[in-house]
Structure 1
Amino acid sequence: MATLEFDEEGARRVERTYATPDVVAQRAQVLALLAPQPGERVLDIGSGPGYLAASLADAVGPTGTVYGLDPSPAMNAIARSRSATRPWIRIEDGDAATLPYPDSSFDAAVATQVYEYVPDMPRALAELRRVLRAGGRTLVLDTDWDSLVWHTTDRELHRRVIAAWEEHVVHPHLPCLLAGLLRRAGFTVPEQRVVVLFNPQLHAQTFSANMMELIAEFVVGRRGVTAEDAVAWLGDLRARADEGDYLFSLTRYVFLATAT
């Protein structure tokens, strides 16, 4: 198992992906569901390039505080640059399994596309519960890669590529377990929803256009996938777009929980 690591180039690629309309719309749904309020203290676990942290900071205002936590120095450099005009954002190095904050520090916390990378989920959620005040709320969003639908003519090659791609996370099917894990960690889970990333066409500003390049790069040498296989897989997807029958859909699962 070798999960994704983000050097400066990788971090910039993620930043571009997060700027696509698909992820901008996802971020808007996350903000609406978490509903951060002026003056609140909010933690963004796995804050990445800082788009969500910046939006959270705009919601809580200068009377509130947003902490962004990420293990990637390259991501944090981008996030700090993005948050430079909002001094009530603090971007810090750290990971989800050991949160460097006192008990009951936050009114709300959010973790989008984070926990599927974390090996010890009971520990990570215990830490989440510890830093939230009683009655504090959290939003967790993760992907189940079984939800992926991608039109390709070579189904066997596609199956091999996606099996290799699943090695980029520790838990490729985490959403099936999340509600139970949250309850056992001391949360109630009053609401569960889905966010669908749907691309019926392919162009540079779609989520899938960015993802296909990342996937093709990652899978080479894994599960027997060769560089030639990756090129053929990309070519098949692009041919679908050229012929007018492209389709990509991926479901992300949202869990709204309250600390008991």
Structure 2
Amino acid sequence: MTSSAFETTRPDSVTYLDRLAASDLGRSYKQRMLDELEVCAGHVVLDLGCGPGTDLEALAEAVTPAGSVIGVDHDRKMVDAARARTAGQTVVDVRHADIHDLPVPDHTADRARTDRVLQHVADPLVALGEMRRVLRPGGRLVMGEPDWETLAVDHPDSDLTHAYTRHVAERVVRNAAIGRQLARLATETGFTVPQVIPVTPVFRDVRVADRVLGLERTTRRAVEAGYFSEQAAQAWLTHLSRGPFLAAVTFYIVVAEA
């Protein structure tokens, strides 16, 4: 079930996040999120689910030495990596904590961001409530999340496509439709939502798509979960590897104000 077009070994989490951030797609949407955050010198900014610290340096530059940046992540490995990377940044403080229970006093932050975090959390509403609590009145939250139920992969056999996308939405991602839900959930938590920005990357190169989507690895999991037979999975991957290839998924950037 393998082809030279696909990665067969899952990259570790830090490598995957760094690789995505360095891609054209990553640089583009992250810059848009930073622009929408409208960080000013002296601001206190929260990066919630900061991972290995990919975005902390840009935030530190934006707040200047007059401000501060607090990174929060529940994964100790990510926290250690982020602390190592920002060791020379005196304005950056990385904390090991749960997004559902932030170690930040009420009305502390001017800005907050989450990037592909809420798709994985146990309770997005509780997490959003915590963000609302720690933001000052008038503070701004910028969130970026995919809507995996919009995942489209071209294939001559639409049944195989449906099997693959159902597996991703039902088994791979905890909150697969969070992208479309964000504006409503933020409003229910007490935010106003002045802007929702859809970003739809289109992949024409199967190798580029695979580095983001893990096509072969995800197909293998779909077989184990009963969404594909071995024969159907081989037919699916063979066509994808030989092309022409096209896949797309919608990513939502949501701007919310406290």
The TM-score normalised by the length of structure 2 is 0.86
Instruction: Name the CA shift for 1:92/1:169 in 2 (closer, same or farther; >3 Å).
Output: same
Corresponding residue SS for 1:100: coil
Residue 249 of structure 1 aligns with an amino acid whose one-letter code is A
Equivalent pairs, count: 247
Cα RMSD of the aligned pairs, angstroms, is 2.3
| Paired position in structure 1 for 2:125 | 122
CA distance in 2, matches of 1:184, 1:201: 39
Aligned-pair CA distance for 1:28: 0.8
Corresponding residue SS for 2:163: helix
Unaligned runs of 5+ in 2: 1-9
Aligned-pair CA distance for 1:77: 2.8
Aligned-pair CA distance for 1:229: 5.4
Unaligned runs of 5+ in 1: 1-6
| Paired position in structure 2 for 1:211 | 213
Are 1:172 and 2:197 counterparts?
A: no
| Paired position in structure 2 for 1:247 | 246
CA distance in 2, matches of 1:233, 1:56: 42
CA distance in 2, matches of 1:235, 1:50: 37
Partners of 2:151 and 2:165 within 8 A in 1 = no
Instruction: Name the CA shift for 1:83/1:176 in 2 (closer, same or farther; >3 Å).
Output: same
Task: Pick which of 29-38 and 158-167 moved more.
Answer: 158-167
Are 1:189 and 2:193 counterparts?
A: yes
Task: Pick which of 231-240 and 123-132 moved more.
Answer: 231-240
- Kindly provide the CA deviation profile for residues 222-249 of structure 1, in whole angstroms up to 9, marking residues without a partner as x: 2444666555533322111xxxx22122
- Kindly provide the CA deviation profile for residues 94-149 of structure 1, in whole angstroms up to 9, marking residues without a partner as x: 22211111101100001111112223222111111000001101011111112222
Corresponding residue SS for 1:38: coil
Identity over aligned pairs, percent: 30
Matches within 5 A, 1:52-201: 52-166=55-169, 167-201=171-205
Residue 44 of structure 1 aligns with an amino acid whose one-letter code is D
CA distance in 1, matches of 2:34, 2:167: 32
The TM-score normalised by the length of structure 1 is 0.85
Aligned-pair CA distance for 1:47: 1.1
Task: Pick which of 166-175 and 39-48 moved more.
Answer: 166-175
